[in-house]
Amino acid sequence: MNYTCTLNPSIDYIMHVDGFEAGDLNRATQTAYFAGGKGINVSRLLKRLDVDTTALGYIGGFTGAFIRETLESAGIAHQFIEINEPTRVNVKLKSGTETEINGPGPSITTEQLALLFEQIRSLGKHDALVAAGNAPGSVPADIYARMADICEENGTRFIADTSSAALRDLIGKRMFLVKPNHHELGELFDTTISSIEEIVSYARKLHETGIDNVIVSMGGEGAVFVNKDHAWKAQTPKGTVKNSVGAGDSMVAGFLAAYEKSGDYEQAFTYAVAAGSATAFSDDLGDRQYIEKLVSQVNLTSI
């Protein structure tokens, strides 16, 4: 079974505002609510690709209830740990450019933390765990590193999609996949990356620390893939960007779904890029039909 863990889920509140002016009263022309948080996005997209997951993490209050109901009505299994404080609301403001304001999230107690570790300890060698997103301030900074250690002991595949600071703590851990964007990759190595050659070189460094597959995403500029046998650059399909929130999570889900079905890295990376772009060109996450239409427009070149 594939598990996703979202320590700090969110309701993503999308607001379209024409000509947004800071400091003024602005009125939205269109709004929408989505169950969000990176692991939850991965679960939602995997479900659209007919891959079952169980979503783990913390939810609370009326906002947490919305997330639970959304997942249940989509047929996504979950084993959320209920907490007292409400799940955060993240504002995604669309007004020509995209501005995001993410909430800090609720506090997690030591007991609630222990419950999550109990769940993770119960995973085995036929399971995979995708740990994604920001950790609330109340949890120990090395939480993902501790999860990675448990997964290594139990032979569980571990995948991380998180900030460069959290990724730094994971360096040296055995992982199946990481997907930083090129800014996060630069931050990780305390540098600014300005060329494809540098991206490939730092992605290789990351791979050599014990990560089987490294995808570095670059928004509309494409993505780079490195593992022990391959290094590819992908060009993205062309389209009109509606919403890039969740594009990176869609890549992770697309890669896992296609790799699970084909065992082939080229297909998995191609599908990952198509899934990212399908989400960027949709109001919500991309759907299967759209992703498959975009697959033929993804070009890989060996680098």
Ligand X SMILES: O=P(O)(O)OC[C@@]1(O)O[C@H](CO)[C@@H](O)[C@@H]1O
Ligand Y SMILES: Nc1ncnc2c1ncn2[C@@H]1O[C@H](COP(=O)(O)OP(=O)(O)OP(=O)(O)O)[C@@H](O)[C@H]1O
Q: Phi-psi category of 267—alpha, beta or left, where left has phi over 0 and alpha has psi -120 to 50?
A: alpha
Q: Which is nearer to ligand X, 12 or 169 (CB)?
A: 12
The one segment of 1-9, 167-175, 187-195, 218-226 that binds ligand Y by CB under 6 A: 218-226
Binding flag, residue 90, ligand Y (CB under 6 A):
no
Binding flag, residue 132, ligand Y (CB under 6 A):
no
Q: Which is nearer to ligand Y, 128 or 298 (CB)?
A: 298
Contact present, 219 and 279 (Cβ < 8 Å):
no
Q: x/- string (CB under 6 A) for ligand Y, residues 255-284?
A: ------------------x--xx--x----
What is the sign of the dihedral through the CA atoms of 167, 168, 169 and 171?
positive
3-state secondary structure of 118: helix
Binding flag, residue 112, ligand Y (CB under 6 A):
no
Q: Residue 302 CB, nearest distance to ligand X (Å)?
A: 29
Binding flag, residue 249, ligand Y (CB under 6 A):
yes
- Catalytic entry in 249, 264, 284, 287: 249
Q: Residue 236 binds which entry of ligand Y, ligand X, none, with Cβ cut-offs from 5 to 8 Å by kind?
A: ligand Y
The torsion angles phi and psi of 12, rounded to 5 degrees, stand at -90, 115
Binding flag, residue 214, ligand Y (CB under 6 A):
no
Residue 249 annotated as catalytic = yes
- Token code pair at residue 95: 């007004």
Q: For residue 27, give every residue at least 6 positions away whose Cβ sits within 8 Å of its Cβ, in sequence order, or none.
A: 17
Q: Residue 63 binds which entry of ligand Y, ligand X, none, with Cβ cut-offs from 5 to 8 Å by kind?
A: none
CA angle 241, 271, 276 (to 5 degrees): 25
The torsion angles phi and psi of 130, rounded to 5 degrees, stand at -100, 110
DSSP-H helix ranges across the chain:
38-48, 61-73, 110-121, 143-154, 164-170, 182-188, 196-208, 247-262, 265-280, 288-295
Q: Which is nearer to ligand Y, 28 or 241 (CB)?
A: 241
The one segment of 44-52, 110-118, 144-152, 240-248 that binds ligand Y by CB under 6 A: 240-248
Binding flag, residue 39, ligand X (CB under 6 A):
no
Q: How far apart are CA 69 and CA 45, in angstroms?
A: 16
Q: What is the contact surface with ligand X in residues (CB under 6 A)?
A: 8, 10, 12, 36-38, 41, 90, 100, 102, 133-134, 245-246, 248-249
Q: What is the contact surface with ligand Y in residues (CB under 6 A)?
A: 181, 217-220, 223, 236, 241, 244-249, 251, 273, 276-277, 280
